[in-house]
C-alpha cells in the first residue's frame, strides 16, 4: 500500500471544538447541502457558540474518477455555495488527508478539526468511529440517498464532460448540484477532465 503524503499539514494552532461535518464532497452536491443546513440548524439551537466545521476528506488522494477535484477546488466549491446562503456566520472549512487507518482516523482528524465537540453525520460507520473516540454524535437521517450519492453525481458529470452546451450542462446537473457549484465547475473547466479519467484515459462520447 502506497503511503499518502499528509497534504495539507495540520495547523500549528489547534482549532476550538465545534460541530463537525465530514465528507469528501466530490463534488459538493445537494445531498451534502441538505446535511450541512441541518447541521447548522442543530448548531444554532444547541451549541450557538461553537463553530460549524466543514471537513473535506481525502485531501491527499491522487486525481482519479473517484477523486477528480483537488481539495482546494472542493474548498472553493464550499466557499461559492456558502456565499449564496443566509446565516452560516460561524463556519470554518478544513481539509483532512487520509491515513488509510480507520481505527486511528479520529485521533488524526482532531489535529485538523479540533478535539471532542459534536460530530454531525448521516453515515453510521463514521458515527461509530467518533462515538468510540468519546465524541457526542448526531446521526441525521439520509435524504434522497439514491438521488444524491456521490458516484451517481460523478457519473452524470462524466456523461456531460464532452458537452459544450453550458445551458444543457446546467439543466442536467441542477437536479443534484447547487447552481453556484455548477457555475464554478464550468468556470474552471472542471468537468472536461472527467473524460480523461475513465479507464484507458480516452475521452467518452
Residues 102-151: pLDDT tens digits? 999 999 999 999 998 999 999 999 999 999 999 999 999 876 666 778 89
Question: Is 60 exceeded by the pLDDT of residue 175?
Answer: yes
Note whether 134 and 149 are same-domain residues.
no
Give me the residues paired with residue 25 across strands: none
pLDDT at 204: 41
How many domains does the chain contain in total?
2
Assign 64 a pLDDT band (cuts: 50, 70, 90): very high
Q: Say how far residue 138 (Cα) sits from the centre of its chain.
A: 18
Note whether 127 and 175 are same-domain residues.
no
Q: What is the DSSP letter of 48?
A: T
Note whether 98 and 188 are same-domain residues.
no
Question: Is 80 exceeded by the pLDDT of residue 202?
Answer: no
Q: Give the residue from 107, 122, 139 where a domain finishes.
A: 139
Q: How many helices (H) and strands (E) does the chain have?
A: 9, 5
pLDDT at 199: 58
CA dihedral 143, 74, 87, 131 (to 10 degrees): 60
Amino acid at each position: 500500500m502506497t503511503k499518502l503524503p499528509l497534504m495539507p499539514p495540520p495547523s500549528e494552532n489547534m482549532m476550538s471544538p465545534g460541530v463537525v461535518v465530514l465528507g469528501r464532497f466530490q463534488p459538493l452536491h445537494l445531498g451534502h447541502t441538505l446535511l450541512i443546513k441541518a447541521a447548522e440548524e442543530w448548531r444554532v439551537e444547541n451549541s450557538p457558540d461553537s463553530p460549524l466545521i466543514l471537513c473535506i476528506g481525502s485531501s491527499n488522494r491522487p486525481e482519479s474518477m473517484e477523486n477528480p477535484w483537488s481539495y482546494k477546488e472542493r474548498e472553493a466549491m464550499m466557499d461559492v455555495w456558502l456565499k449564496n446562503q443566509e446565516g452560516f456566520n460561524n463556519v470554518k472549512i478544513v481539509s483532512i488527508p487520509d491515513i488509510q487507518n480507520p481505527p486511528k482516523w479520529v485521533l488524526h482528524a482532531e489535529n485538523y478539526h479540533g478535539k471532542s465537540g459534536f460530530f454531525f453525520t448521516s453515515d453510521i460507520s463514521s458515527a461509530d468511529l467518533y462515538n468510540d473516540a468519546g465524541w457526542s454524535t448526531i446521526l441525521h437521517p439520509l435524504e434522497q440517498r439514491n438521488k444524491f450519492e456521490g458516484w451517481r453525481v460523478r457519473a452524470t458529470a462524466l456523461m456531460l464532460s464532452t458537452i459544450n452546451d453550458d445551458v444543457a450542462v446546467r439543466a442536467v446537473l441542477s437536479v443534484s448540484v447547487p447552481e453556484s457549484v455548477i457555475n464554478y465547475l464550468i468556470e474552471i473547466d472542471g468537468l472536461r477532465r472527467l473524460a480523461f479519467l475513465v479507464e484507458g484515459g480516452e475521452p467518452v462520447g
